[in-house]
């Protein structure tokens, strides 16, 4: 290699270093979707049930190592199938799938309620770490009132049904034991459980399901004396009083979480998945069991009081019929939209394998319904339950991954929780086929990025126009580097954006990174650009002898085309004259007669 060529290479290296210190302005992105048929911000959740050994752990007698391996396999499967959030059932019967000082170890963890795992480990802590390492969010799913199912195991001596025998009653429809929602002590007890989890664990959310008063289980008015003893508001109707008890518990839970968020700089969200029909006959044409009168559950009251962040109603019915998915989802959407909250529809994946015998396309059609323009409060869905994904029931994974979940997505930010954007990644660069970056300084609220979103665009201009396009996401990870396939390296422009704990996103889309340094001659580039920076002109020198016409384009930092000129290669070189252009960074593209192109950055100085 001759000295003049070495000098040119040194010039290009100097330019590359200059680009690393150019200051860029972060863009905090809105959640306006470029194309809602492929949203980049969408809840893609899965309920992971522990009760009855349904999803995990499937063997309550297995060793901790076996249970851990099973959970890792589940998380890898969900990550691979496009899901981004786990709702892990950590409290199914007033016992704990975590190390609690308040409630006993869970029966479905060790096979004996109150017996610690051997060796001792904390399943919730383990699940959080493993989920977050995979870029998955994890919500702790709790049953607030259910104390014991119809199963026949013996409660531990420190179980609430033993230590507080006056705090519960049996359902009149079956033998389930239910904590009495009318007792102030019960409300405080449930809130204390939430406070314990929210304080000690890095959960992304707290979630309740629809086990409130037992379904059709109050026919004997087991709480009649409680109604007399604990009715400070003198509510005249016992049904209204029961609903108010639940309302107060929901509000107290929400308020407790907000206090913890503020004091510990957390961003734990709170939501509930109520039964799917609020009242039979609402909306018109819908019939079925009414959550309002059967479970004494008034989700509309929670919305109107602002005491939840999202609702995930259980719409475990198909499209059409007396419980039409489309009618119900649109009705819930409209109620939630009016309060500024978010809707994540809970979907009945299990109905592909029960007597309903749904096809996989039913799930596809429901996801499509969640994305129609009128579903403007819908931000995704939650699958019940994992077993259908594990077994790929009716090829549902294949169907969804080829269409609805073809591109990756992250859970949407919750408006009003945390509106401070994270700082953008620093020193985004390629080293061979590895894209890497540095963690930025904490944002104004002290938050560091929790995850990173990696985009690949066709050109610099597209990075601006399509920055909210979910089809441009190639991965969402927690680390600081990603190996990029060679086909993308040769053809794409890249942006790395930060996500904070609320999934607020910030990235510099004005200056996407070329796939490789286009300034040093190597195997993947057949040219050299010099001088760079330049004043009025620069040259492009091709390694191989060429004699053809090429078109040179220049784009400014806003992606606007500012130069287009046809050049004839002479002695393997062309000269680009830009004396009338202002100083700054430009994106250059050279298009050849065979349809291929090369792209790089240049800097014009005064």
Question: How do residues 443-456 score in pLDDT, each as one tens digit?
Answer: 999 999 999 999 99
pLDDT-derived band of residue 535, with 50, 70 and 90 as boundaries?
A: confident
Please state, rounded to an integer, the average pLDDT across all residues of the chain.
Answer: 90
Q: Which helix (H) or strand (E) holds 10?
A: helix 3-20
Distances (CA, A) of 361 to 24, 42, 151, 404: 45, 20, 35, 11
Q: What is the mean pLDDT of residues 425-435?
A: 88
**Share of the chain residues as helix, strand and coil, in percent rounded to the nearest 5:** 30, 25, 45
Q: What is the mean pLDDT of residues 12-24?
A: 36
Question: Quick one: DSSP state of residue 563?
Answer: E
Peptide bond preceding 385 in cis form (omega within 30 of 0)? yes
Which pLDDT value is given to residue 30?
67
Residues in Cβ contact with 308 at an 8 Å cutoff, skipping those fewer than 6 apart: 250, 254, 270, 271, 272, 302, 341
Domain boundaries, the chain: 3-17+519-604, 43-401, 417-510
Q: Are 43-401 and 417-510 equal in CATH topology? A: no
Q: Which two tokens stand for residue 198?
A: 């929210």
Q: Domain 417-510, CATH 2.70.98.10 — does that match?
A: no
Residues in Cβ contact with 570 at an 8 Å cutoff, skipping those fewer than 6 apart: none
Check whether 265 has a pLDDT greater than 90.
Answer: yes
Which pLDDT value is given to residue 32?
76
Residues in Cβ contact with 324 at an 8 Å cutoff, skipping those fewer than 6 apart: 285, 286, 317
What is the spatial distance between Cα 272 and Cα 308, in angstroms, rounded to a whole number? 8
Q: 186-244, pLDDT tens digit by residue?
A: 999 999 999 999 999 999 999 999 999 998 889 999 999 999 999 999 999 999 999 99
What is the spatial distance between Cα 47 and Cα 70, in angstroms, rounded to a whole number? 16
Which pLDDT value is given to residue 516?
45
Q: Which two tokens stand for residue 521?
A: 């001659």
Which pLDDT value is given to residue 4?
44
Question: Higher confidence at residue 558 or residue 328?
Answer: 328
Check whether 2 has a pLDDT greater than 70.
Answer: no
% of the chain residues with pLDDT over 70: 93
pLDDT-derived band of residue 69, with 50, 70 and 90 as boundaries?
A: very high
Q: Which helix (H) or strand (E) holds 575?
A: strand 573-577
% of the chain residues with pLDDT over 90: 73
Q: Which helix (H) or strand (E) holds 528?
A: strand 527-530
Check whether 316 has a pLDDT greater than 50.
Answer: yes
pLDDT-derived band of residue 558, with 50, 70 and 90 as boundaries?
A: low
Helix (H, G, I), strand (E, B) or coil at 107: helix
Q: Domain 3-17+519-604, CATH 3.20.20.100 — does that match?
A: no
Torsion sign, CA atoms 245, 247, 250, 251: negative
Which pLDDT value is given to residue 431?
81
What is the spatial distance between Cα 301 and Cα 203, in angstroms, rounded to a whole number? 26
End-to-end CA, the chain: 31
What is the spatial distance between Cα 89 and Cα 74, in angstroms, rounded to a whole number? 14
Lowest mean pLDDT among 2-16, 52-66, 411-425: 2-16
pLDDT-derived band of residue 534, with 50, 70 and 90 as boundaries?
A: confident
Torsion sign, CA atoms 383, 385, 386, 389: negative
Nearest to 467 by CA among 412, 506, 516, 514: 506
Q: What CATH architecture applies to the domain 43-401?
A: Alpha-Beta Barrel (3.20)
Question: Higher confidence at residue 152 or residue 395?
Answer: 395
Pairing of strands 43-48, 493-499: unpaired
pLDDT-derived band of residue 13, with 50, 70 and 90 as boundaries?
A: very low
Which pLDDT value is given to residue 515?
54
pLDDT-derived band of residue 21, with 50, 70 and 90 as boundaries?
A: very low
Which pLDDT value is given to residue 25?
41
pLDDT-derived band of residue 562, with 50, 70 and 90 as boundaries?
A: confident
Which pLDDT value is given to residue 601?
84
Question: Higher confidence at residue 417 or residue 286?
Answer: 286
Q: 97-147, pLDDT tens digit by residue?
A: 999 999 999 999 999 999 999 999 999 999 999 999 999 999 999 999 999
Highest mean pLDDT among 386-400, 558-572, 588-602: 386-400
Highest mean pLDDT among 270-274, 423-427, 517-521: 270-274
Q: Which two tokens stand for residue 271?
A: 């939501």
Question: Higher confidence at residue 538 or residue 392?
Answer: 392
What is the spatial distance between Cα 395 and Cα 511, in angstroms, rounded to a whole number? 41
The residue written with tokens 């406070």 in the block is 195
Q: 479-530, pLDDT tens digit by residue?
A: 999 999 988 887 889 999 999 999 999 999 988 887 544 333 334 456 788 8
Check whether 384 has a pLDDT greater than 90.
Answer: yes
pLDDT-derived band of residue 24, with 50, 70 and 90 as boundaries?
A: very low
Q: 344 and 45 in contact (C-beta within 8 Å)?
A: yes
Which pLDDT value is given to residue 517?
41
């Amino acid at each position: 290699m001759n000295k003049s060529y070495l000098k040119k290479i040194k010039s290009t290296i100097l330019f590359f270093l200059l680009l690393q210190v150019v200051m860029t302005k972060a863009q905090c992105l809105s959640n306006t979707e470029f194309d809602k048929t492929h949203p980049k911000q969408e809840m893609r959740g899965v309920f992971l049930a522990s009760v009855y050994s349904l999803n995990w752990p499937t063997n309550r007698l297995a060793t901790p190592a076996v249970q851990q391996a099973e959970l890792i396999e589940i998380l890898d499967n969900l990550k691979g199938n496009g899901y981004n959030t786990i709702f892990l059932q950590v409290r199914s019967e007033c016992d704990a799938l975590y190390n609690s000082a308040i409630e006993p170890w869970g029966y479905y963890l060790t096979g004996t309620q109150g017996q610690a795992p051997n060796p001792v480990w904390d399943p919730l802590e383990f699940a959080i770490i493993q989920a977050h390492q995979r870029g998955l969010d994890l919500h702790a799913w709790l049953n607030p009132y259910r104390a014991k199912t119809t199963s026949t195991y013996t409660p531990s001596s420190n179980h609430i049904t033993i230590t507080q025998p006056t705090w519960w009653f049996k359902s009149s429809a079956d033998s389930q034991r239910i904590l009495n929602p009318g007792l102030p002590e019960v409300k405080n007890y449930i809130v204390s459980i939430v406070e314990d989890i929210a304080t000690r664990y890095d959960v992304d959310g707290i979630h309740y399901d629809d086990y409130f008063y037992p379904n059709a289980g109050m026919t004997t008015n087991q709480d009649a004396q409680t109604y007399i003893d604990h009715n400070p508001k003198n509510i005249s109707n016992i049904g209204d009083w029961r609903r108010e008890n639940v309302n107060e518990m929901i509000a107290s839970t929400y308020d407790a979480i907000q206090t913890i968020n503020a004091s510990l700089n957390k961003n734990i969200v709170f939501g509930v998945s109520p039964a799917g029909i609020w009242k039979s006959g609402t909306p018109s044409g819908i019939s079925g069991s009414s959550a309002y009168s059967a479970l004494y559950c008034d989700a509309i009251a929670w919305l109107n009081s602002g005491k939840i962040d999202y609702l995930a109603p259980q719409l475990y019915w198909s499209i059409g019929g007396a419980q039409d998915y489309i009618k119900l989802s649109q009705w819930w959407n409209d109620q939630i939209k009016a309060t500024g909250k978010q809707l994540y529809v809970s979907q009945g994946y299990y109905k592909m394998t029960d007597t309903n015998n749904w096809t996989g396309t039913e799930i596809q059609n429901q996801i499509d319904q969640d994305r129609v323009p009128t579903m403007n409060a819908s931000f995704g869905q939650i699958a019940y339950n994992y077993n259908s994904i594990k077994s790929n029931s009716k090829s549902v994974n294949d169907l969804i991954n080829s269409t609805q979940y073809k591109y990756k997505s992250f859970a949407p930010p919750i408006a009003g929780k945390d509106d401070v954007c994270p700082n953008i990644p620093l020193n985004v660069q390629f080293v061979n086929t590895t894209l890497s970056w540095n963690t930025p300084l904490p944002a104004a609220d002290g938050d560091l990025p929790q995850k990173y979103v990696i985009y690949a665009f066709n050109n610099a201009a597209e990075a601006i126009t399509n920055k909210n396009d979910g089809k441009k996401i190639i991965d969402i990870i927690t680390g600081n580097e990603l190996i990029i396939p060679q086909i993308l390296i040769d053809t794409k422009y890249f942006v790395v954006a930060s996500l904070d704990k609320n999934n607020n996103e910030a990235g510099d889309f004005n200056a996407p990174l070329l796939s490789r340094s286009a300034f040093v001659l190597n195997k993947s580039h057949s040219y050299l650009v010099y001088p760079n920076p330049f004043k009025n002109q620069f040259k492009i020198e091709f390694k191989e002898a060429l004699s053809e016409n090429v078109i040179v384009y220049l784009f400014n930092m806003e992606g606007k085309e500012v130069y287009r000129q046809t050049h004839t290669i002479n002695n393997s070189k062309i000269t680009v004259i830009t004396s009338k252009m202002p100083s700054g960074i430009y994106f250059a593209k050279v298009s050849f007669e065979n349809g291929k192109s090369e792209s790089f950055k240049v800097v014009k100085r005064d």
